[in-house]
Amino acid sequence: VQLQASGGGLVQPGESLRLSCATSGFSLEYSAIGWFRQVPGKEREGVSCISHYDGATDYSDSVKGRFTISRDIAKNTVYLQMNSLKPEDTAVYYCARKATICSEYGYNYDYWGQGTQVTVSS
């Protein structure tokens, strides 16, 4: 089982980025994929999640309306489209896998990607 997050970078406030989480070793149809972010010295925060089968999605209040999670089952990839980025979105973003439905709690996830840095700064 592997997850590899990519697509991070340095952008200005108001700009967009799309993160990708390439997965292998399991089926997205039977797994939930969550995006989390962490800033040094702060707790890890759940950002968004997409559940198995029906692809139900969930977002934290801090990103609702700006971020969109989606998946391409054929490509085994989950995306996080981030629009209207703010400096407070700066963090290392991780994708993680758990069985079936989403959870906001990172400890429920059993496999994690390596993280990709997103920096929003003028």
Q: How far is the C-alpha of 88 from the C-alpha of 110, rounded, in Å? A: 27
pLDDT of 33-71, one tens digit each? 999 999 999 999 999 999 987 889 999 999 999 999 999
Residue type present at position 72: D
> Quick check: 30 pLDDT over 80?
yes
pLDDT of 80-92, one tens digit each? 999 999 999 999 9
Assign residue 65 a region (left: φ > 0; alpha: ψ between -120 and 50; beta: otherwise). Answer: left
How much of the chain exceeds pLDDT 70, in percent?
Answer: 100
Query: Pairing between strand 9-11 and 116-120?
Result: parallel
